[in-house]
Amino acid sequence: MPLRIGRDTIGLPEGVYITEAVGVAGSKEKNGPLGECFDVAFNDDTLNMKTWEKAESEMQSTAVRTLLKKAGFVPDDIDVIFAGDLLNQCMASSYGLRSLGIPLMEQFGACSTMAQTMCAAAVFTASGASSRAVAVTSSHFCTAERQFRMPLDYGGQRTPTAQWTVTGAGAALISNNISPVRINALTVGRIVDLKIKDATNMGAAMAPAAADTITRFLRDTNTKPSGYDLILTGDLGRLGSELLAELMRRSGYDITGVHNDCGVMIYSPDAKDVNCGGSGCGCSASVLCSHIMQRLRSGDLHNILFVATGALMSPTASFQGESIPSIAHLVHITSVS
């Protein structure tokens, strides 16, 4: 049974494992530093579909189907799937997972969605409400640009603080099937909004949410950053990562040398137009479910905090002069490899 630790943290019993995981990526990501790690990487980001949205749906579907195949399961073996994406009405999940026939609870946490789906799947599994749950998210550069920013055809210029939405997906099978990689604890995020209104500077909007969640977890568990091999944020990017380190320092925690960010890791610093790094819920999902899972399994990492961060921005809200509410969910993962 899960047990509450301190004010805000949910401790999980032995028996909640990341049994298998799959990372899927697009062409730009394939050519990045982690390119070799992805289970599936596409050379053509259209995935031979007629629209970008259909391409993203197909990518999310590919992530889940590859996961099931890798784990030796069929859709009927899965009790529930927690899925989400950045598109209005979680379109990539609804259409991508439609044909699977698996009970579905769609989640929205913007770029924090992978950690949110894992939190839900972990509690369902820990409680016996499910014995096998899938957590999956995706994002696609071309769907995100036109929905949140500008049609691609405009060729709009990018500001130095902008990030590049990752074309990618990650899917994890969370179950009570014993595996070396275990989910130990969760901290559900709360909205933090320090009134940033610049939608091209999401790292700055999200860093305070990451700091809030990490600080609450460390306080609840009475641990320090140095006790972890890695504190992995989702997509703060280069600027947001600097801000997080500063905010944590002000709270009395030094994360230097322990922190890394999926948005910083996924592209080379000199990759064209990525500026501050990658973003999108497919960013942290694809990096966690490939590169990081491989390091957890190989024994290279034993004790990590996965903290996906989300800017719950809406173009409609921005048009109405609103600031960007942000959130970060934390998943504490350990490995006995």
* 3-state SS, one letter per residue, for 211-250: HHHHHHHHHHHCCCHHHCCEEEECCCHHHHHHHHHHHHHH
CB nearer a second copy, residue 284 or residue 290: 284
Query: Least distance in Å: CB of 110 to a second copy?
Result: 7
* Contact between 126 and 2 (Cβ < 8 Å): yes
Query: Least distance in Å: CB of 159 to a second copy?
Result: 21
* Contact between 166 and 280 (Cβ < 8 Å): yes
Q: Say how far residue 162 (Cα) sits from the centre of its chain.
A: 18
Query: Least distance in Å: CB of 302 to a second copy?
Result: 25
Query: Least distance in Å: CB of 39 to a second copy?
Result: 24
- The answer for residues whose C-beta is within 8 angstroms of residue 323's C-beta and 6 or more apart is 193, 194, 195, 196, 197, 205
* Contact between 18 and 293 (Cβ < 8 Å): yes
Query: Least distance in Å: CB of 242 to a second copy?
Result: 25
CB nearer a second copy, residue 40 or residue 328: 328
CB nearer a second copy, residue 185 or residue 243: 185
CB nearer a second copy, residue 197 or residue 249: 197
CB nearer a second copy, residue 125 or residue 286: 125
Residues lying near a second copy in the complex (CB under 8 A): 1-4, 8, 10, 50-51, 53-54, 79-80, 84, 87-91, 94-95, 97-98, 101-110, 116, 119-120, 123-124, 126-131, 147, 186-191, 193, 312-317, 320, 322, 325, 327, 329
Query: Least distance in Å: CB of 226 to a second copy?
Result: 26
> To which residue do tokens 């990525």 refer?
274
- The answer for residues whose C-beta is within 8 angstroms of residue 280's C-beta and 6 or more apart is 86, 111, 139, 140, 141, 144, 165, 166, 167, 168, 235
CA R_g for the chain: 18
CA distance 101 to 98: 7
Query: Least distance in Å: CB of 304 to a second copy?
Result: 21
CA distance 210 to 189: 8
CB nearer a second copy, residue 227 or residue 315: 315
Cα atoms in the 13 Å half-sphere on the side-chain side of 37: 22
CB nearer a second copy, residue 301 or residue 312: 312
CB nearer a second copy, residue 38 or residue 82: 82
CA distance 112 to 186: 13
Helix (H, G, I), strand (E, B) or coil at 128: coil
CB nearer a second copy, residue 45 or residue 53: 53
Query: Least distance in Å: CB of 128 to a second copy?
Result: 5
Query: Least distance in Å: CB of 331 to a second copy?
Result: 13
Burial 115-125 (b: 16+ CB within 10 A, else e): bbbbbbbbbbb
